[in-house]
Structure 1
Amino acid sequence: MPDRKRFRRYLVSLRRGLHILAAPVKGDSGRGGLFIQAYRGYGSRDRVFLMGRVFRQPGFGASLQEDWLRRDLLDLMRRLLRKPIVGARVRVRYKGTTAVVETDRHGFFRVDMSLGEMPSDVAWHSVELSLDQPTDERATTTGEFFTPPHTASYGVISDIDDTVVYTGVANTLKMMWRLFAQGADSRVIFEGVPELYQGFHEGPEGSQSNPLIYVSRGPWSIYQVLVEMFRMHRIPNGPILILREWGMKRGSLLPRRARDHKLDAIRHVLDLYHPMKFVLVGDSGQHDPEVYSRILRGYPGRILAIYIRDVSADPERSEAIARLAEEAGEGGCELVLSDDNRVLAEHAAEHGLISQDALAEVRRSKAEASAG
């Protein structure tokens, strides 16, 4: 009997995973043709930035709309067979403002558009995307971007790999297995992360809607999985910036190093949201302390705190980060290194970044994980 229940649970998990993996190609209902996939963007009162990709995908199985399992299997196959469109011209519309951008050699497009009309004071806004060239009236979609409301007092830029999620979950199949098959026991998310990040989002007053922007070294293929993982674990919504394609230009033979991508991404966010202050969260294993130290030097007075998850057992690495922490302190910012989110939350509460209620939630989560 237990084996039968476990099998049913795995079958349900498989179906959920298939649906998430197949989601990016579902906008054409199996007809095939050109398709625009938009990723969450972010904006200010006068500017918006977002990314997306244009594909040509095969069409088959359009008559199977009622058979959702076979539909998902076919859509997953169509996703594997789709091809990026180079040089496509994408028209972007937000209220009365329009811009046209072109896809690169990987089919990606980047929108950095001035807004003629200021967004309303809500967190998420819709933007319409369509194709000018090649022409396909069906290839339209709606994207979304975030703007901080007037209540926001600071922002958070957080790494994902080894900071929010455990090592190895950037592997799509491993992530899907842990997330859907193993459920609450999967250890996909570090203990206390949802509660700490919710505390950041709510701020010390509990209702500030501070923006959270996430960066990942994984491929864009895991984007939809990350979105679902954040939803399942109640981590606050925010744009997810994938660093592998960040800053790649037509004609370049090799991408820039990931640390340069991260610098570019963080600088773009800080420039867009000037003079808002930020908290930077990362891990000790992939140059985050060095990158964040460079940001601190380049944007004096803009960084409230640097939180680094300790994932290294190397004493030399710990000593190097200690030197960076000393340097950060001289620049008026504390760099906190710990493998326990309670330590980070206690520092954040002490410095007025999160509420005491949020701190209590982080402690409760850690206590429950230890007891389990």
Structure 2
Amino acid sequence: MGLFYGRDPLQLIVFQTYGSDTYLYIKGRALEDENIDLTKKNFIHLLINSWKRFETDVIGNCQIKLKLPNGDFHEFKTDVEGYFLLALNKANLQSMSNEEGWLAFEVSYADESIKRSIQLENRFPGEMLIPSHFSDFGVISDIDDTILQTGMMSLLKWRVLYNTFLKTPGTRIPLTGAPEFYHLLHRGASGEKSNPIFYVSNSPWNLYLYLEFFLKNNNFPKGPILLRSLSAFFNRHKLKGPDDRPHKIREILNILQTYPALPFVLIGDGGEKDADIYLEIAKMYPDRIKAIYLRSVKHQKKMLRVAGLFKDYTDIPVLLVEDSDQAIQHAQENGLIVLK
């Protein structure tokens, strides 16, 4: 629960982000709590919840306070869409994280002008991942049709709409074997590592809680979930200059630049632009990418195009996989994972 503002209580949704021992990166959104129950399954509730996810009442231009485990406080402000971002240099952050590398903190509303007389709770938890220096590699994974069947290949994308608006995350089934494969990658070649997993999707931030619930409910390794704003989602065809790179490329490049000593495994699907993006990244960082896995989709023309992209590319192992078993076998043969 949160502070009351107008008719609904306020909340702060803190996105799972990533940083380093010397770099703090906090991101989230301030908005009214629409009381979305992700477990509701009847048709009316599904429609109501879908409407609430996109009809958000944001709290723009308000002061937010961050409290770190060591007692340090920092204040910052939301933008007009309610998003907040705090990025600053800070020392010894890793000493405050747990054994998996997660730094826990709290955020709260600092702006007294938005508070009403009734206050239930003004403490909202968040976490930032600081990968271990002993990690073998990191994993950057797409979500749609890579671990979660969306129906992107369906006629007029009708199944995407059905899956997004008329199915709860609790009823969505991951692609077979995906959780096991990701846990094997997370534990690495020794089976005892905490290799970081980054989930990068073109979905809007409005679906953050939905996707977070899905990943947790299906036992995927916890990792930063990197989405984009709804305005950027609708303006994706208006990119013009080199600084206006597509969302997914920008996020992947930022991860690579944040951890310059860490190699990565890239996982996606053959349905949209993952193959093109990953090939571009691999050519930019040939010594940083250990393998590329692309899940096959039921669209022969698209898969032929993807196969053609990598036909003469031999610098990095690239595997077009029909199922997770193929990926697991390949990863084991290439020394990325161990089966016990």
TM-score by length of structure 2 reads 0.78
1:79 CA drift (Å): 5.8
1:38 is aligned to 2:14:
yes
Equivalent position to 1:242, from 195, 213, 227: 227
* 1:112 alignment partner, one of 67, 79, 87: 87
Distance, in Å, in 1 between the alignment partners of 2:308 and 2:183 is: 30
Q: Please state if 1:272 is matched with 2:258.
A: yes
Query: Which has the higher relative contact order, 1 or 2, with Cα contacts under 8 A spaced 6 or more apart?
Result: 2
Structure 2 counterpart SS, 1:265: helix
Q: In the TM superposition, what is the alpha-carbon distance from 1:150 to its structure 2 partner?
A: 3.4
Instruction: Please say if 1:91 is aligned against 2:47.
Output: no
Tell me, yes or no, if the aligned pair for 2:206 and 2:230 is still in contact at 8 Å: no
Aligned twin of 2:167: 175
1 CA distance for matches of 2:234 and 2:178? 38
Structure having the higher Rg: 1
TM-score normalised by structure 1 residue count: 0.72
Identity %: 30
Name the CA distance, whole Å, in 1 between partners of 2:223 and 2:313.
27
The whole-number CA distance in structure 1 between the counterparts of 2:334 and 2:26 is 32
What does residue range 1-372 of structure 1 map to in structure 2 within 5 Å?
Answer: 26-28=1-3, 32-56=8-32, 83-94=57-68, 95=70, 98-120=73-95, 122=99, 123-133=101-111, 135=113, 136=115, 139-168=122-151, 171-176=163-168, 179-180=170-171, 188-245=173-230, 254-255=235-236, 260-315=246-301, 317-326=302-311, 328-329=313-314, 332-357=315-340
Task: Give distance in 2, aligned partners of 1:29 and 1:133.
Answer: 13
Name whichever of 128-137 and 280-289 sits farther off: 128-137
Aligned partners of 1:53 and 1:109 also within 8 Å = yes
CA distance in 2, matches of 1:263, 1:346: 28
- Closer, same or farther in 2 for the Cα pair 1:307/1:90, shift >3 Å? same
* Structure 1: runs of 5+ lacking an equivalent: 1-25, 60-71, 181-185, 358-372
Q: 1:86 to 1:214 in 2, by over 3 A?
A: same
- The answer to whether the 8 A contact 1:201-1:211 is kept is yes
Residues 224, 119 of structure 1: CA spacing in aligned structure 2 closer, same or farther, 3 A cutoff? Answer: same
Question: How many Å separate the matches in 1 of 2:34 and 2:230?
Answer: 25
* Aligned-partner residue type, residue 119 of structure 1: Q
Greater displacement, 208-217 / 156-165? 208-217
Native 8 Å contact 2:265 2:289 kept in 1: yes
After superposition, the C-alpha distances for 1:147-183 in whole angstroms (9 at most, x for unaligned) are: 112331100010000000112467433331x734xxx
- Name the CA distance, whole Å, in 1 between partners of 2:9 and 2:146: 38
Alpha-carbon RMSD across the aligned residues, in angstroms, is 3.3
Letter aligned with residue 269 of structure 1: I
Number of positions where the alignment pairs a residue of Structure 1 with one of Structure 2: 305
Distance of aligned partners of 1:58 and 1:179 in 2 relative to their CA distance in 1, 3 Å threshold: closer
* Separation of aligned partners in 1, 2:85 and 2:267: 25
Q: Matches of 2:49 and 2:298 in 1, distance apart?
A: 37
Instruction: Classify 1:124/1:261 alpha carbon distance in 2 versus 1 (closer, same or farther; 3 Å).
Output: same
Deviations 1:253-295 (A, max 9, x none): 9356697000011111111111100000001111001011111
Unaligned runs of 5+ in 2: 36-44, 152-159
